[in-house]
């Protein structure tokens, strides 16, 4: 997935904020934690370029092991259910959830080693044929890119809706001039 991770993280966090509200987490902190979690696995691109010198597919690093995100999600959910002060646990949970969703989204057209570190078989729902150069042009011209555009459009829609709601609430609460 090229451009969809960040907006997908925003959508999931925005849709789940109502369930997190009882934890007294601020919407801003919750959504920020969610968006960071959605892109966190791809921070391994720094390692890929600067340390590994593009020797291995970055999906083979532990940052793209689904089990890592599943363990984080389980641990943060346990923390969320048991903690008396839940706002930090809510942020950790949405961070981990979006990290795990990143694995699913990367599986659409990119190989993910779902059973790593035990299995060595990558999985992808669809294969993008290597027809063009540079490599990203193949993804850009593949039908699956329409999913990414749809995710971006959905995120913009939710963002505008939330912004409009905030403006309306602020205007309603503003003191009226006598
Ligand atoms: Zn990724």
Ligand 1 center to residue 102 CA distance, Å?
Answer: 6
Give the model confidence (pLDDT) of 38-56 as tens digits: 999 999 998 888 988 989 8
Ligand 1 center to residue 56 CA distance, Å?
Answer: 14
Joined together, the tokens standing for residue 41 give 């696995």
Contact 83, 24 (CB under 8 A): no
Return the pLDDT at 97. 98
Ligand 1 center to residue 64 CA distance, Å?
Answer: 7
User: How far apart are alpha carbons 60 and 137 in whole angstroms?
Assistant: 22
Residues 6+ apart with CB under 8 A from 147: 4, 108
Ligand 1 center to residue 91 CA distance, Å?
Answer: 21
Burial (CB count <10 Å: 0-12, 13-18, 19+), residue 64: buried
Return the pLDDT at 176. 66
Give the model confidence (pLDDT) of 158-169 as tens digits: 999 999 888 888
DSSP state of 176: P
CA dihedral angle for residue 3, residue 101, residue 75, residue 77, rounded to 10 degrees: 110
Joined together, the tokens standing for residue 10 give 């925003």
Q: What is the mean pLDDT of residues 146-165?
A: 95
Most confident of 94-98, 122-126, 174-178: 94-98
Lowest pLDDT segment from 42-46, 130-134, 143-147, 162-166: 162-166
Ligand 1 center to residue 116 CA distance, Å?
Answer: 15
Ligand 1 center to residue 15 CA distance, Å?
Answer: 22
Q: pLDDT-derived band of residue 178, with 50, 70 and 90 as boundaries? A: low
Secondary structure of residue 112 in the 3-state scheme: strand
H/E stretch holding 151 reads: helix 145-173
User: How far apart are alpha carbons 4 and 145 in whole angstroms?
Assistant: 9
Does residue 175 surpass a pLDDT of 80? no
Return the pLDDT at 177. 63
Ligand 1 center to residue 146 CA distance, Å?
Answer: 18
Ligand 1 center to residue 84 CA distance, Å?
Answer: 34
Report cis status (omega within 30 of 0) of the bond before 134: yes
Residues lying with their CB under 5 A of ligand 1, a single-atom ion: 41-42, 106
The CA radius of gyration of the chain, in Å to the nearest whole number, is: 19
Give the model confidence (pLDDT) of 56-113 as tens digits: 888 999 999 999 999 999 999 999 999 999 999 999 999 999 999 999 999 999 899 9
Return the pLDDT at 106. 96
Q: Where are the domains of the chain?
A: 5-173
């Amino acid at each position: 997935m090229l451009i969809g991770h960040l907006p997908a993280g925003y959508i999931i966090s925005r849709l789940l904020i109502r369930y997190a509200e009882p934890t007294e987490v601020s919407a801003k902190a919750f959504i920020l934690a969610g968006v960071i979690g959605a892109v966190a696995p791809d921070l391994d691109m720094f390692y890929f370029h600067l340390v590994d010198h593009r020797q291995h597919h970055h999906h083979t690093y532990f940052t793209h092991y689904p089990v890592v995100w599943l363990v984080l999600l389980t641990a943060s959910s346990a923390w969320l259910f048991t903690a008396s002060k839940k706002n930090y646990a809510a942020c950790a949970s949405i961070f981990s959830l979006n990290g795990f969703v990143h694995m699913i989204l990367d599986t659409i057209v990119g190989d993910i080693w779902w059973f790593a570190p035990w299995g060595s078989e990558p999985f992808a729902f669809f294969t993008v044929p290597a027809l063009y150069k540079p490599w990203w042009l193949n993804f850009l011209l593949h039908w699956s890119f329409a999913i990414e555009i749809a995710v971006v459009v959905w995120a913009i829609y939710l963002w505008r809706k939330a912004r409009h709601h905030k403006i309306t609430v602020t205007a309603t609460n503003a003191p009226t001039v006598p």
